[in-house]
Amino acid sequence: MATVEPAILSAVASVIAAASGRPAEGLGADTLIEDLPLDSMALVEALFTLEERFDVTIPFQVADAGQGGGIATLGDLARQIGALRPVPGSAV
């Protein structure tokens, strides 16, 4: 499994904290998205914010990590964003 870039995880935690009303300090890589007090609209808005911040398109699917490896935790989301970011100096 790829490591989580701390800067990306921090940004994910900050955006999700704002959307959920929970303090970012209480959110980490192992935080399950389904356990957060987010309705579907708040989650979509948070994802749009992250897409804009990192200039990526997140193919989001909340799924049990054991059932095909979807995005279940904030760490999964941060890893997905890291994998989607363009490599500096590469042609777009």
Span of 25-29, 44-48, 68-72, 88-92 with lowest mean pLDDT = 88-92
Q: Assess contact for 33 and 74: CB atoms under 8 A.
A: yes
The pTM for the full model equals 0.83
Binned at pLDDT 50, 70 and 90, residue 66 comes out as very low
Q: Return the half-sphere exposure (C-beta side, CA atoms, 13 A cut-off) of residue 12.
A: 25
Domains with residue ranges and CATH for the chain: 6-84 (1.10.1200.10)
Q: Assess contact for 13 and 19: CB atoms under 8 A.
A: no
Closest CA to 40 of 69, 10, 13, 60: 60
Average pLDDT of the chain to the nearest whole number: 86
Tokens of 9: 């995880």
Please determine, for residue 69, whether its predicted confidence score (pLDDT) is greater than 60. Answer: no
Tokens of 69: 């490896």
